Amino acid sequence: MANNNTPFKIRGFSYSDAKIEFNGVDLPGVTAFDLPEVNTKNNNYGLGVNPVSRSSGIKEYNGSMDMDFDTQKLLRGFSPTGKMTDIPPGVLVLSLEAVDGSKEIVTYPFFQFNATGISGSQGDENLVQSIDVIYGGYVQSSF
């Protein structure tokens, strides 16, 4: 029996297709992002040793973004105190646009920054810091 290869029918997205905005302002210095949805699930037991059902608990929306110092400086303009941790909840929009024109838009409401800072070492050409973030879920759209 011969194996037939399936031709590519989808176009995957890559990091170079990403654009991130916070409250409508482009954040060009974001070098990495990790924005997971974690849903607690547990097996429920009755008689015997095997689970008889599964429960689903809360969803947690905590992540991180790596960004350069200039982008942090830009974001501090949203803060009444000049600190990223004091920026009121906003909307983060992650858009992905492929070469073929297809788009994915992910909107993260109630987005806030839990940390701020700067780190570097000898030889660094760009000062990038990982910033912890929290948000209130997300909405994903395809075009």
CA distance 103 to 12: 11
Q: In sequence order, what are the residues at sequence separation of 6 or more whose Cβ sits closer than 8 angstroms to the Cβ of residue 75?
A: 22, 27, 84, 87, 113
At 120, give phi and psi (nearest 5°): -170, 170
Are 67 and 128 contacting, i.e. CB atoms less than 8 angstroms apart?
yes
pLDDT tens for 5-47 read: 666 666 667 788 899 999 999 999 999 999 999 999 999 999 9
Closest CA to 108 of 23, 43, 25: 23
Tell me the whole-structure pTM to 2 decimals.
0.81
Assigned fold of 15-37+60-142: Pnp Oxidase; Chain A (2.30.110)
